[in-house]
Structure 1
Amino acid sequence: MLTEPIVGCILGTAVGDALGLPYEGVSPKRAAKLLGPPDRYRFFFRRGMISDDTEHTCMVAQSLIDAGGDVPKFTRSFARRLRWWILALPAGVGKATARSGIKLWLGASPEKAGVFSAGNGPAMRAAIFGAALDDVPSILSFVRASSRLTHSDPKAECGAIAVALAAKHSRDNETVDANLWLDEVVDAVGEAESELIDLLRKAIQSVNVGEITKTFAKSLGLDRGVTGYTYHTVPVAIHAWLSNPKDFRKAVLSIIVCGGDADTTAAIVGGIVGAGVGQAGIPGEWLDGIWEWPRSVAWMQRLGEALADSLDGDKSVKSPTANPIAVLLRNLLFLFIVLFHGFRRLAPPY
């Protein structure tokens, strides 16, 4: 059974997302002055809330249950969920994802809804594929379907593949072998995708000489924060994972202090490491501190268990659902808190 890695991946994504959210778009230097260290939730008093990174991961998990191993059925299910997700007024949705959601509402087929973007949207929801699926060809097929629904640039797809295979490697190996994982990525995306492969090799070399993740990010010119470009996001996230493959706390903290798109980078790292350590390896106070409804921690745990049961052959399993009115009300509150943080950033300290 894959219950532990699947639940660990979903909850790890949620915790990383919630911890990193207040730091999104803030440079490391300003974040240290404005917010302090990311060792506790700083979004709503001492509580954390999830954003699109976790919501997309949950929608992928629900769609995998619906699909029963059928990729076209998964694509249709995920497209349907994405349409309704857009309608619930989520705050902070990426531009490419928003455009693809609108195209779906205007009648575009799932195969033609994606826009040409190398954003990190596909990567943020990719770890769950590696946590849940055993067969690499199946992982690649589902990752490509998920990626192309919103992002048609091959770079976005390749970044997502690297994340999914990292989660699978994390799940399957007590001791992580970076070079073995990289060989799997090369086999999947091809040597022609040399830019990504070179960046991943640099990440491995940096880990091997003992550089911290923040130093590696600076070496890529990301001293003011990791951007949403997938070839910035993924190598830095991989560095954080390889530096702390079985230490959830250190891995997530090491990526958040890099600044920039901190909720997404931390969600990706949390999903990868969570697939390896399971729910038991995620700090309990961080799980208890997530303040969410209707997608509570218990709801996400049930979702992971349902996905594991469905993959184990239980055809009667139905994915947990969330009341759309409750989601809309929650999103309005979430938007209010996001706006508060936006205005707070206008004030000192600078």
Structure 2
Amino acid sequence: MTHTTLSTAQRDRAAGVLLGLACGDALGAGYEFGAPLPDHTPVRMQGGGGFGWAPGEWTDDTSMAIPLARAAAAGLDLRDETVLDGIVAQWVDWAKTAPDVGVQLRAVLSRTEPTASAVRQVAKAHHDRHGRSAGNGSLMRTAPVALAYLHDPAALAEAARLVSSLTHYEADAGDACVLWCLAIRHAVLEGELDLRIGLPALPADRRALWEGRFAVAETSRPADFARNGWVVEALQGAWSAIVTTPATDATHLRLALDAAVRGGRDTDTVAAIAGGLLGARWGASAVPAEWRRIVHGWPGLTAADLLRLGSSATPDLAHAQAESVDYAYLGDVSTLVRHPHDDGVWLGAAGALDALSAEIDAVVSLCRVGTKQVPTRIRHRVEVRLIDDDDPAKNPNLDVVLLDTVQVVAALRAEGHTVLLHCAQAQSRTPSVAALYAAVHRGVPIDRALAEVIAALPAAAPKRFLRDAVVRLAEANTDSPHQGPNTEGARA
């Protein structure tokens, strides 16, 4: 298959699709079947719910998306019947032990041999028997299909409808998957939210119908869609949460997912649907680290696995599955020192991962690391997308990422963990984030924090864009004003 070469920001957005879906799913899991919540009610990734989910555990929405994402990552054509056979076989095997499988999906997946043609026939029979088959179960899993066809919108529309029809015969379900997948593709490539971009891909006699449905969603609240087990109202609820939540910056992703969950009833599915599109718009870097720390699910995957799986759907990221990233070409990458303002935080370069002291039990990586680079004993690990490049396009969510990162370091410390904060060389990213942490969470004036962190690190020389950002953010989030260009003890 032909593929599209993506920019750095587009890669982040592509990687955000699967992660956003899973986090929306896990966020909503604990609220499923509940009534709508009042505006501004706090929403947490708490687990629980009717199936006793663990905090951060995703449900059937993401589990069914995983085989599709794996096929996309392998460069397979989802219109190929043999490929679909393999996906269906994985679904059928998963459904045998899954605690939560939708009524329509279970009816289809449990009554036939595990092939695409057989499941498709059962889906049609189910539709003929009940007169309807437009549950939300095909839309909830559809986001990865978009990643397989970023280069070809026509093929994407065809594949989205074909994959939907495996289990959902009714036209509304296929239409919804086409519309959502084309919106995800557009968001990844253009950084815009536009659900109408897919209308021309629908049959002409169905476009006005969907335009009217969009208009209703845009003038309603998620809670207004009480029948969100139906694919139409699930899509409307997700779109309503997205468009009625102010989108001033990347915090839109979290706020819109909160709104989707507050809509009530099928909360995990509506939030999963919204999460795929929000991840495509804002990127993996917009997904809160507190969610990335704990999100997990079938078949034993974590946020780091989802990031690599989503990234691998675009083959120009061939390094995504490397076991280790060698930074030796940068020179000495063995730096490891204590944070001058918190003995429970260590600051280092990537080489420090090879010789961690026993007291370090959490790692926050500010650079790319391999799948086996962080020691397996480290249960608490967070990978942060922070590019050491002063081109603003490389870090579109810079302020959100920086504040989110220091917040997760503070949260790990509050839990009693000893944290390694590292980048490739401990030169620019590590001292910048370490200084912002000291200013926001340790009460150290930002000028002093920068000077003393830089003095502690042998190669420290933060780039100007990061210096400016941490000073600006420290001023906005503390009571200590910046004192001007004080570089006491610092190297330029």
TM-score in terms of structure 2 length: 0.54
Partner residue of 1:163?
180
- CA deviation vs aligned residue, 1:208-255 (integer Å, no higher than 9, x gap): xxx6x34xx42xxx3xx4521011110121122233455111110111
Partner residue of 1:230?
231
Partner residue of 1:118?
134
Partner residue of 2:90?
81
- The structure whose residues are more often strand, as a share, is 2
Contact in 2 for aligned 1:226/1:259 (Cα 8 Å): no
Cα distance in structure 2, aligned partners of 1:292 and 1:86: 14
Cα distance in structure 1, aligned partners of 2:109 and 2:54: 33
Report the CA distance shift for 1:45/1:97 in structure 2 as closer, same or farther (over 3 A).
closer
Bigger drift between 76-85 and 50-59 goes to 76-85
Which structure is higher in RCO with an 8 Å CA cutoff and minimum separation 6? 1
- Aligned-pair CA distance for 1:129: 2.3
- The answer to whether structure 1 residue 58 and structure 2 residue 66 are counterparts is yes
- Aligned-pair CA distance for 1:67: 5.8
Query: Once superposed, which parts of structure 1, at least 4 consecutive aligned residues long, lie more than 6 Å away?
Result: none
Partner residue of 1:299?
305
Aligned pairs for 1:31-42 (under 5 A) are 37-42=42-47
Cα distance in structure 2, aligned partners of 1:250 and 1:55: 24
Cα distance in structure 1, aligned partners of 2:310 and 2:114: 32
Partner residue of 2:98?
90
- CA deviation vs aligned residue, 1:18-55 (integer Å, no higher than 9, x gap): 110111111115xx6xxx63134243798221001111
Partner residue of 1:286?
291
- The structure whose residues are more often helix, as a share, is 1
Partner residue of 1:187?
200
- Aligned-pair CA distance for 1:190: 2.7
Contact in 2 for aligned 1:75/1:110 (Cα 8 Å): no
Cα distance in structure 1, aligned partners of 2:227 and 2:288: 25
The equivalent position to 1:68 in structure 2, one of 76, 89, 95, is 76
Contact in 1 for aligned 2:179/2:199 (Cα 8 Å): no
Task: Calculate the aligned-residue CA RMSD, in Å.
Answer: 2.7
> SS where residue 314 of structure 2 aligns?
helix
> SS where residue 165 of structure 1 aligns?
helix
- Aligned-pair CA distance for 1:81: 1.4
Bigger drift between 283-292 and 251-260 goes to 283-292
Cα distance in structure 2, aligned partners of 1:69 and 1:106: 19
- The answer to whether structure 1 residue 203 and structure 2 residue 204 are counterparts is no
Partner residue of 1:336?
none
- Aligned-pair CA distance for 1:292: 4.2
> SS where residue 192 of structure 1 aligns?
helix
Contact in 2 for aligned 1:16/1:267 (Cα 8 Å): yes
Report the CA distance shift for 1:307/1:45 in structure 2 as closer, same or farther (over 3 A).
closer
- Aligned-pair CA distance for 1:127: 2.0
The equivalent position to 1:19 in structure 2, one of 27, 52, 67, is 27
Cα distance in structure 1, aligned partners of 2:75 and 2:166: 16
- CA deviation vs aligned residue, 1:84-123 (integer Å, no higher than 9, x gap): 1122x11120122112212332776354242421001111
- CA deviation vs aligned residue, 1:310-330 (integer Å, no higher than 9, x gap): xx497xx9xxxxxxxxxxxxx
Contact in 2 for aligned 1:6/1:128 (Cα 8 Å): no
Cα distance in structure 2, aligned partners of 1:38 and 1:307: 31
Show structure 1 runs of 5+ residues with no match. 318-350
TM-score in terms of structure 1 length: 0.75
Partner residue of 1:344?
none
Cα distance in structure 2, aligned partners of 1:10 and 1:48: 15
Q: How many residues are paired up? A: 291
Bigger drift between 241-250 and 269-278 goes to 241-250
- Bigger Rg over Cα: 2
- CA deviation vs aligned residue, 1:56-88 (integer Å, no higher than 9, x gap): 11111112345623512332221121121122x
Cα distance in structure 2, aligned partners of 1:60 and 1:243: 30
Identity %: 24
Contact in 1 for aligned 2:36/2:262 (Cα 8 Å): yes
